[in-house]
Amino acid sequence: MKRNILSLLIALFATLQVAAQTYDNLWKQAEINAQKDQPKSEIAVMKKIIAKASAAKDYGQLLAAEMRQAILWREISPDSLTPHVKRMEPRC
């Protein structure tokens, strides 16, 4: 019985640790894309972070990714900022 409970707790903590690392991994991947000057690849990573943060209701990560994505879109096409802001407004 104790062995089963201990195994369950270890599995739970291992799962939590993996979930906590994914944001770090995604942000590192985005930074690598930024260093390589690949804004569209970085936007794809931001979309992954946004989807994960929305599902987890992690508003800090969500806001950071949304803002970075808006900046990237503005760098690619200066007139794309207004539509992006309008897409963000319903979430606020």
Q: Which residues in 19-33 are b (16+ Cβ under 10 Å) and which e?
A: eeeebeebbebbeeb
**Residue whose token pair is 């900022």:** 81
CA dist 11 and 44 (Å) reads: 31
34 and 42 in contact (C-beta within 8 Å)? yes
Per-residue pLDDT of the chain (92 residues; tens, 9 = 90+): 667 776 666 766 666 555 556 899 999 999 999 999 999 999 999 999 999 999 999 999 999 999 999 999 988 887 776 777 777 777 76
What is residue 9's predicted lDDT score, i.e. its pLDDT?
A: 61
Structure tokens at 89: 């407004």
- pTM value is 0.69
CA dist 83 and 92 (Å) reads: 15
